[in-house]
Amino acid sequence: TRILDRILLFNYYLIPQFHIGHYRVAYWNKLSRPEISPKYDLGFDFWWYDPEKARLIGEIENEPTQKKKNKANYVFFLLASSLIIIIWRIRRKS
């Protein structure tokens, strides 16, 4: 185990999750609260579920899905163009 520890520590292996330059935050904005809070309010007692906000959450378009479709198109185009170039070079040699 000492040898394995030396190898792993020598190469500085890290868990990438804790070394990103930004924070990932996800939340649902389906709760509301009053415009003016009481003076000695802790803040948690006056939140309520807002059906209008919840309805609007369902109407948000999912952008990552659209990006995945575009990425798939680029991959298909790259593979198709590579195949065409390979076929062209094979025909040119013969």
Question: What pLDDT does 49 receive?
Answer: 83
Report the chain's mean pLDDT, rounded to a whole number. 75
Question: What pLDDT does 62 receive?
Answer: 57
Question: What pLDDT does 83 receive?
Answer: 93
Note the pLDDT tens digit of each residue in 30-73. 888 778 777 777 766 677 888 888 888 776 655 566 566 677 77
In the chain, the DSSP E strands lie at 31-32, 48-49
Cα Rg of the chain (Å, integer): 27
Tokens 């996800």, located at residue: 26
For residue 50, give every residue at least 6 positions away whose Cβ sits within 8 Å of its Cβ, in sequence order, or none. Answer: 30, 31, 32
Q: How many angstroms separate the CA atoms of 82 and 88, rounded?
A: 10
Q: What is the pTM of this model?
A: 0.32
Highest averaged pLDDT of the listed ranges 7-11, 18-22, 78-82: 78-82
Where do the structural domains in the chain lie, given as residue ranges? 2-93
Q: How many angstroms separate the CA atoms of 32 and 47, rounded?
A: 6
